[in-house]
Structure 1
Amino acid sequence: MKIYDISVPISPSLPTWPGDPAIEISMPDRIADGSVANISRLAFGVHTGTHVDAPLHFVDGAATVDAMGLDPLVGPVQVVEVSDDVTAVDAGVVAGCGLRPGVERVLFKTRNSRFWREEPLRFHGEFTAITADGAHALAQRGLKLVGIDYYSVAPFDAPTPTHQILLGAGIMALEGIDLGAVAPGEYTLMCLPLKLMGVEGAPARAILLA
């Protein structure tokens, strides 16, 4: 069995979505300073790094992360690769990307995965994302989860339609993954978000098993 860690490392140098809190990691208690143990403190938004979106993120009154449970986040998944010249995953791309019948979880590998290594300190607003008609095409397949290899399934300049379509259909979004070392194909996804109660998203550790 091979394990692919598709999570991005969280550190103060990791870019965040414009307007989101910066990442703060500190160690206020240190053995070297007389404390009995080293104890760190974390402060960042729930949509930091690799994370999941629950329907509540863009659908007021909808399900929270804890209410969705783990079923959408654990199980067979198809990794689909789109070429570097694709800057928008629209309905045509969805139709032609080779999704197998009955697939319940799909991760899109795009040119975005290179951003984690090329200029990793900069937020790349030009990332490839899923358009509204692409989201409709995915929702019609009865998926449980859709993932993409940058901070949002939706375009930077139009975040609402794609999110509302996917999340409104009860599809969880897995965002901020790194698929650079992963070939297209079939895997088992294990994605475990923090068990935060009553919120719309949560950081997660996500792996693929082959």
Structure 2
Amino acid sequence: MTDALLGTVQKGVDAVDLGRQLRVGMPQSPNHPQFWHTLPRRHGDMVRADGGSAANDMITMGCHVGTHIDALAHVSHEGLMFGGVDAAQAGVGGKYDALGVHTIAPMIRRGVLLDVAGQHGVACLEGGYEITVEELEAAAAAAGVEVGQGDVVLIRSGWGSKFAEGAAYVGGPTGVPGVGETGARWLAERGIHAAGADTIAFERLAPGGGHALLPAHRVLLVESGIYIIEALDLEELGARGWGEFTLVLVPMNIYGATGSPVRPLAVRAR
């Protein structure tokens, strides 16, 4: 019997890469170790007797740099992580066994794009702008989709267009657009599996406020067990007008880590 999914793939699929290219100097949260890539061995540093040569690489980086997913171990509130896990006790030994990124199963799920910037008819929402529940609902209606159980919901603010500008994307003095606590609760009430955005911290950052307050992280990660995906590239997805698609995302299987770099794909049959 022919597998239906395999049959679709053999007929051809279109894929949109939602991940950011990892480059030295790219914008990132100042709270995490920067990405660094170097060549310990270059061609010609060692040449074999037959004339062959090989180069190799080394990278160092925080797990919350570039396009990445937050594991449930990433955030605690009043000493507790999701499910009432004691955050201090869970960190003994330097690994988060219960809620680390190794516990996130590979995602092959329905993805939904809520293009809020597109609904406003602008390339990018203003820094510090809080996306309301009404705007999320309007974006879903415009795309002809309903957010449902187990979905991965991606919110486009257009802020991702600033990624190449560096500091502007981090948005320290300007703030960054995104949902607040109310928007996060709307997502959680629909039983979604994960939520993502084209911004550095998923949720709204107040001008000059940095990462001082992150209520949406608390609602999603701590209270609801919903993963967060940050620094997505949603520009092509928005331009194509894909309201729903298959989302493929596989975290690195790093035991006990609080997050992982990812390279998600939005996939549709041709």
Q: With structure 2 as the length reference, what TM-score do the two structures score?
A: 0.71
Deviations 1:42-84 (A, max 9, x none): 01100110100011111335621111222xx321111110024
1:15 to 27, 31, 35: 27
Q: Of 191, 200, 206, which aligns to 2:249?
A: 191
Stretches of structure 1 lacking an aligned partner (at least 5 in a row): none
Contact map agreement 2:160 2:169 (CA 8 A) in 1: no
The answer to whether structure 1 residue 151 and structure 2 residue 200 are counterparts is yes
User: Which 4+ stretches in 1 moved above 4 angstroms?
Assistant: none
2:233 corresponds, among 170, 173, 178, to: 178
| Structure 2 counterpart of 1:202 | 260
Instruction: Name structure 2 gaps, 5 residues minimum.
Output: 1-12, 48-52, 77-86, 91-97, 118-123
| AA at the equivalent of 1:67 | T
Secondary structure of 1:31's counterpart equals: coil
CA contact (8 A) 1:81 1:184 kept: no
1:41 aligns to what SS in structure 2? strand
Q: 1 CA distance for matches of 2:217 and 2:15?
A: 29
Fraction of identical pairs, as percent: 25
Residues 91 and 101 of structure 1: CA distance in aligned 2, closer, same or farther (over 3 Å)? closer
Correspondence 1:1-210 to 2 at 5 A = 1-34=13-46, 37-59=54-76, 60=87, 61=90, 63-70=99-106, 73-83=107-117, 84-85=124-125, 87-98=129-140, 100-102=146-148, 104-117=151-164, 119-120=165-166, 122-125=168-171, 126-156=175-205, 157=209, 158-168=212-222, 169-182=224-237, 183-210=241-268
Task: Check 1:174–1:101 CA distance in 2 against 1; reply closer, same or farther (3 A cut).
Answer: closer
Residue pair 2:202, 2:231 contacting (<8 A) in 1 also? no
Q: 1:154 to 1:202 in 2, by over 3 A?
A: same
Tell which deviates more after alignment, 40-49 or 18-27: 18-27
Contact 1:17 1:123 in 2 (8 A): no
Higher strand share: 1
Distance apart, 1:191 and its partner CA? 1.1
- Whether the 8 Å contact between 1:145 and 1:171 is mirrored in structure 2 is yes
User: 2:125·2:157 contact (CA, 8 Å) conserved in 1?
Assistant: no
Are 2:169 and 2:199, in contact at CA under 8 Å, matched by a contact in 1? no
The residue matched to 2:40 in structure 1 has which SS? Answer: strand
Determine helix, strand or coil for the equivalent of 1:94: helix
Superposition deviation, residue 13 in structure 1: 2.3
Cα deviation, 1:150-195, whole Å, max 9, x if unaligned, reads: 2211233354311011012111111111011112411111112211
Deviation at residue 91 of structure 1 after TM alignment: 2.8
8 Å CA contact retained: 1:26, 1:40? yes
CA RMSD of aligned residues (A): 2.0
Distance 1:85 1:204, change over 3 A: closer
Larger helix fraction of residues: 2
